[in-house]
């Protein structure tokens, strides 16, 4: 029965059908291959993190600006809201909507940034050996 499987198992001196013998790659080449797979992922995570942080920073400034403009249109009288002109009321409603949309997006960005930081930390921990073998090409090791 084992004669059927004889061709499936090769000893180190056995030749492949093309005449060459089997050889495993060197550990250095395996490390380079692994690094070639991991580094682009780490760069993509880092790029997404930087882009999300930039968007959050810019949006935060714009939301603060809208809050300041809305404060001016509200006025400072006790009964200002009773006698507000229709145009001012319309602008106030637009400001309210912009503020709500901006704050909603800021919350989403904060959540996304937190998730990306966890993803980066997990990848750095899991692939620490691969990434520490040599220069990672701009991928920082700080989570």
- 53-84 residue pLDDT tens: 999 999 999 999 988 887 777 666 555 555 66
Q: What is the pLDDT of residue 81?
A: 56
Closest listed residue to residue 119, CA positions, set 46, 51, 34, 53: 46
Concatenate the DSSP letters of all residues of 108-138 into one string: HHHHHHHHHHHHHHHHHHHTHHHHHSS--SS
- Residue 140 CB partners (closer than 8 Å, separation 6+): 46
Report field, pTM of the whole predicted structure over 0.75? no
Secondary-structure percent of the chain, ordered helix, strand, coil, rounded to 5 = 70, 0, 30
Residues of the chain with pLDDT under 50: 136, 143
Parse the chain into domains and list their residue ranges: 25-132
- Residue 127 CB partners (closer than 8 Å, separation 6+): 34, 38, 42
Q: What is the pLDDT of residue 60?
A: 96
């Amino acid at each position: 029965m084992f004669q059927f499987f004889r061709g499936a198992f090769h000893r180190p001196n056995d030749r492949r059908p093309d005449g060459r013998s089997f050889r495993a790659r060197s550990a250095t080449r395996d490390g380079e291959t692994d690094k070639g797979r991991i580094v682009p992922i780490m760069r993509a995570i880092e790029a997404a993190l930087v882009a999300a942080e930039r968007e959050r920073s810019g949006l935060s400034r714009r939301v603060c600006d809208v809050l300041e403009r809305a404060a001016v249109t509200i006025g400072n009288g006790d009964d200002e809201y009773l006698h507000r002109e229709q145009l001012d009321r319309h602008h106030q409603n637009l400001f309210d909507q912009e503020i709500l949309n901006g704050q909603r997006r800021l919350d989403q960005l904060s959540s996304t940034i937190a998730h990306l930081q966890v993803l980066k930390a997990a990848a750095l921990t899991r692939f620490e050996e691969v990434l520490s073998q040599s220069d990672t090409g701009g991928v920082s090791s700080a989570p």
